[in-house]
């Protein structure tokens, strides 16, 4: 595909995707009111980034992705993909983006190689520019190139979805919940591929419920809820917004009484550790330690626990936290935290 077709150097800007005042309203059925899925979203995805799009179920993520992919018609607003306005240049904007969907929507009678060839044909990729075997090798399906898709395992089918999203050499790759329900080996393979593609200059947009995954992979994150963007920043800056601190004390002997101090919450874990939560704009670490000493507690060890993306997410979407999945269900929950907006 030429640079002109793919939105090459002549069309490049600092943003891979620019979204302004994007709205989507679905008509109500059988007398039901209209549903506003997106309520004026503004979003800029930097070129070359791994960009996280997070939010609870029903937040509007899927609608946004489907609009980018050209599968859903927006109600109003503008979308520019790799410098191409979606309304004025629909063919070029679609050519610049590849989408790996959640659903396993594969034709069971095509082999992986056949599926890639058909997909490439749909995008108008000349035979001389097709890289089906190279892509199959990338996703670990070379030995299944001629197998029927219906004989592939669930993990292999998900790899094939990734391969199909790459056939037209897109500048931007959207991964919609790519590791939901997959095993550890496949997850590691997917992320190795994502890092490799990103190092080659591809912009990656990731939606995921696994917040530790987003924290590890993403340079920048936007969080949407109820169809509105409620935060967008670098991953480091989002974590830096947390003004909550957690100090964990390993006592030298059993604790007789919990320390008491203004603006400090003290609890004891089942293993005997003392957990002290405080806000850095109200209390400093020395005041917390002094309260521990005043309670007659001798300290064998002390450590701090940093805020993670789960804390930020829960704080920002506190009205809709019932459907958030956590990568490690056994992880101690540190409660709600205040976030500086």
| 121 shares a domain with 179 | yes
Residue 333: inside a domain: no
Which pLDDT value is given to residue 266?
Answer: 92
Of 168, 170, 339, 166, give the one whose Cα is nearest residue 178: 166
Q: CA–CA separation, 92 vs 83, rounded Å?
A: 9
State the Cα angle at 300 between 296 and 306, rounded to 5°. Answer: 100
Of the chain, the percentage scoring pLDDT greater than 70 comes to 87
| 267 shares a domain with 132 | no
- Whether the per-residue pLDDT at 330 is higher than 60: the answer is no
Residue 296: inside a domain: yes
Q: CA–CA separation, 114 vs 111, rounded Å?
A: 5
Residue 311: inside a domain: no
CATH label of the domain that carries residue 120: 3.40.50.300
31-45, 149-163, 164-178, 194-208, range with the lowest pLDDT? 149-163
| 205 shares a domain with 259 | no
- Whether the per-residue pLDDT at 320 is higher than 80: the answer is no
Q: For residue 181, what pLDDT band results from cuts at 50, 70 and 90?
A: confident
Of the chain, the percentage scoring pLDDT greater than 90 comes to 52
| 260 shares a domain with 145 | no
| 272 shares a domain with 166 | no
Residue 337: inside a domain: no
Which pLDDT value is given to residue 335?
Answer: 37
Any bridge partners for residue 246, and if so which? 277, 305
CATH label of the domain that carries residue 275: 3.30.70
Q: CA–CA separation, 141 vs 262, rounded Å?
A: 60
| 300 shares a domain with 213 | no
**Cβ atoms of 259 and 266 closer than 8 Å:** yes
- Report the number of distinct structural domains present in the chain: 2
| 192 shares a domain with 56 | yes
Q: What is the mean pLDDT of residues 99-107?
A: 84
Task: Starting at the earlier edge strand, list the strands of the sheet with 264-268.
Answer: 264-268, 274-279, 244-251, 299-305
Q: Which residue has the tokens 């670098």?
A: 234
Q: What is the mean pLDDT of residues 250-259?
A: 90
Which pLDDT value is given to residue 243?
Answer: 65
String of DSSP letters for 268-297: E-TTS-EEEEEETTT--HHHHHHHHHHTTP
Tell me which of 103 and 228 has the higher pLDDT: 228
Q: CA–CA separation, 180 vs 277, rounded Å?
A: 33
Q: What is the mean pLDDT of residues 3-20?
A: 61
Which pLDDT value is given to residue 279?
Answer: 77
| 257 shares a domain with 126 | no
Structure tokens at 148: 């029927």
Residue 194: inside a domain: yes
Tell me which of 203 and 309 has the higher pLDDT: 203
Q: For residue 113, what pLDDT band results from cuts at 50, 70 and 90?
A: very high
Rounded to the nearest integer, the mean pLDDT of the chain is 84
| 88 shares a domain with 14 | yes
Tell me which of 154 and 111 has the higher pLDDT: 111
Tell me which of 270 and 325 has the higher pLDDT: 270
Q: What is the mean pLDDT of residues 63-87?
A: 95
Q: For residue 251, what pLDDT band results from cuts at 50, 70 and 90?
A: very high
Residue 215: inside a domain: yes
Q: What is the mean pLDDT of residues 57-83?
A: 93
Q: For residue 111, what pLDDT band results from cuts at 50, 70 and 90?
A: very high
- Whether the per-residue pLDDT at 136 is higher than 70: the answer is yes
| 73 shares a domain with 192 | yes
Residue 100: inside a domain: yes
- Last residue within a domain, chosen from 205, 234, 263: 234
To the nearest 10°, the Cα dihedral for 327, 330, 336, 341? -20
| 125 shares a domain with 104 | yes
| 183 shares a domain with 296 | no
To the question of pTM greater than 0.95 for the whole model, the response is no
Of 207, 137, 221, 145, give the one whose Cα is nearest residue 178: 207
Residue 110 belongs to domain spanning: 3-234
Q: For residue 341, what pLDDT band results from cuts at 50, 70 and 90?
A: very low
Residue 326: inside a domain: no
């Amino acid at each position: 595909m030429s640079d002109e077709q793919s939105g090459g150097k002549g069309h490049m800007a600092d943003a891979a995707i620019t979204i302004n005042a994007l709205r989507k309203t679905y008509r109500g059925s059988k007398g039901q009111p209209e549903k506003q899925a997106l309520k004026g979203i503004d979003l800029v995805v930097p070129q070359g980034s791994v960009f996280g799009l997070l939010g609870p179920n029903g937040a509007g993520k899927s609608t946004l992705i489907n609009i980018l992919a050209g599968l859903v018609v927006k109600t109003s607003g503008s979308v520019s993909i790799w410098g191409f306005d979606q309304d004025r240049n629909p063919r070029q904007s679609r050519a610049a983006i590849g989408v790996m969907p959640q659903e396993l929507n594969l034709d069971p009678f095509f082999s992986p190689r056949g599926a890639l060839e058909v997909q490439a044909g749909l995008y108008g990729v000349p035979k001389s520019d097709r890289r089906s075997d190279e892509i199959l090798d990338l996703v670990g399906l070379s030995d299944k190139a001629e197998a029927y898709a219906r004989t592939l395992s669930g993990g292999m089918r998900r790899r094939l979805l990734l391969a199909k999203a790459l056939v037209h050499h897109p500048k931007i790759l959207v991964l919609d919940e790519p590791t939901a329900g997959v095993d550890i080996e496949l997850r590691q393979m997917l992320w190795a591929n994502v890092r490799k593609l990103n190092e080659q200059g591809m912009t990656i947009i990731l939606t995921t419920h696994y917040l530790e995954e987003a924290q590890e992979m993403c340079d920048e994150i936007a969080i949407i809820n109820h169809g509105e963007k409620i935060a967008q920043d670098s991953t480091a800056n989002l974590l830096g917004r947390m003004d909550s601190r957690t100090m964990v004390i390993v006592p030298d002997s059993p604790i007789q009484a919990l320390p008491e101090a203004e603006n400090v919450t003290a609890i004891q874990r089942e293993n005997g550790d003392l957990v002290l939560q405080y806000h850095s704009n109200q209390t400093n670490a020395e005041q917390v330690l002094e309260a521990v000493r005043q309670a007659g507690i001798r300290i064998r060890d002390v450590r701090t626990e940093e805020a993670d993306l789960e804390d930020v997410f829960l704080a920002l979407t506190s009205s809709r936290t019932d459907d958030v999945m956590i990568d490690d269900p056994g992880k101690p929950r540190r409660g709600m935290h205040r976030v500086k907006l």
